[in-house]
Amino acid sequence: MKLKTRLFLMTIIVMAANSAFALNVASILHPEEVGFHLVGTRQDASQMGGSGVGPGAEIFLGYHLNKKLHLAIGAGFMTATDDIFKAKFSKAVLLPSLEARLSYTLSKSNSFRTFIFMGFHVYSEELKYKTASGWSRTNSGYSGSALIGAGAALALGKSGHWLNITADYRYGILSSATVKPQYWVGKIGFIYNIQKNKQLTKNDNYYNDLNAFMSDQGQGEIAQDTSTHANSENIQSRLEMLEALTMSNANAIDGIKNNEVTNIPEVRKVDNNDQTVIIVTNYNSSYNEGLSLFRLVKYDKSIMIFHALLKEDSNNALTSNVLYWIGECKFAQGLYRQAIDSFNSVLEFTKSHKRDDALLKKGICYTNLENFNDANATFEELINNYPKSEYVQRARKYIENADNI
């Protein structure tokens, strides 16, 4: 195949790819990542042209098969030359170059991961040799190589961008040549995490809509968190809060049979130290008032009432609920470590119906602190101990999201 023909085919491939994105066809494929690599190719030193490194480039799509396995499909071109990025006497041009790589993650943290991979490379190869009369070309047609390699990726902030570096060895198993071509390939480039940035955009839209509604309701605006996970859960918390505002206090209280909410606890000032003291006149009414203040985003006042309830009666049937809502207040204030302490206190009550709630929020606190190991362990505890809980699906989703980071 002539060079012009191959260039024409590559142009068609690039145009088709651009059209697919323009028509949103890429959303059907649901790639988690897109990326670009600069490629350096060296033919094995035992073969002609093996003393140099030739330039190339690649674009690719990435798919997460599970938390360990990833699939990448790439297209581009490669060259192998007898000098560094130029040819003196010989050159091999691989155009078009198509490959599929299956990688296995060896280690992963929030900012760094290592992996090994194997795959298959299909290409059209043209060999060029310099003679006295000029360059002589030999088209060996389409061929294929098996490849094996390793790489590492470094996160560039929390935007979903990664710096990716790989190295691999390729053996031309489908070549018709007596001596099979062998190549050493190095790549460096960038990966863009589509799914993470879609979530960031979605969060921004949710915040704008919720802020408009909250302002209409006189509830104030929501402060955004730089963490994607924190943003998602803050949105969820406020949605639940808005839902609660549409319900009567009687229907919103868990397990409370006394539905009277009109008795507000007495509040007074102590002159000598200017501290506010809550006087509990009716336990259930005070509990209801604490919930009402929480839903009105008055977290400090809500915490004061709940602490007064604990001081009044630490063995009440609602004690675990009181501890849980203190944790919710701390969570809403972004005090995740203090919230974890409160949720741990709830878990000490073996018969509390708030245990699964506490496990979910405890796991989310760890997620917002980017302590994904403890977060996943907490979510697994929820799934294993409360398989019928309404929060199981959310817990599984958090585990899946953490595995894809």
Q: Rounded distance, CA 136 to CA 148, Å?
A: 32
Q: Per-residue pLDDT for 183 more than 80?
A: yes
Residue 384 has a pLDDT of 94
Question: What would the two tokens of residue 6 be?
Answer: 């191959």
Residues 6 or more apart from 263 whose CB is under 8 A from it? 281, 282, 285
For residue 364, give the nearest of 319, 321, 334 by alpha carbon.
Answer: 334
What percent of the chain is modeled with pLDDT above 90?
A: 44
Higher confidence at residue 200 or residue 303? 303
Tell whether pTM > 0.95: no
Q: Convert the pLDDT of each residue in 239-289 to its tens digit.
A: 555 544 444 344 444 444 444 333 334 444 334 444 555 656 688 888 999
Instruction: Identify the structural domains of the chain with CATH numbers, from first to last.
Output: 3-197 (2.40.160.20), 237-403 (1.25.40.10)
What percent of the chain is modeled with pLDDT above 70?
A: 68
Amino acid at 396: R
Q: Convert the pLDDT of each residue in 100-134 to its tens digit.
A: 999 999 988 778 999 999 999 999 988 888 888 88
For residue 268, give the nearest of 277, 256, 255 by alpha carbon.
Answer: 277
Torsion angle in degrees (nearest 10) through CA of 196, 200, 201, 205: 140
Say how many CA atoms lie within 13 Å of 56 toward its Cβ.
Answer: 28
Residue 236 has a pLDDT of 55
Q: What is the mean pLDDT of the chain?
A: 78
Look up tokens 């030193």; give the residue. Answer: 45
- 18-22, 75-79, 89-93: segment of lowest average pLDDT: 18-22
Most confident of 148-152, 348-352, 368-372: 148-152
- 74-88, 292-306, 319-333: segment of lowest average pLDDT: 74-88
Per the omega criterion (within 30 degrees of 0), is the bond before 387 cis? no
Q: Rounded distance, CA 386 to CA 51, Å?
A: 63
Residue 220 has a pLDDT of 45
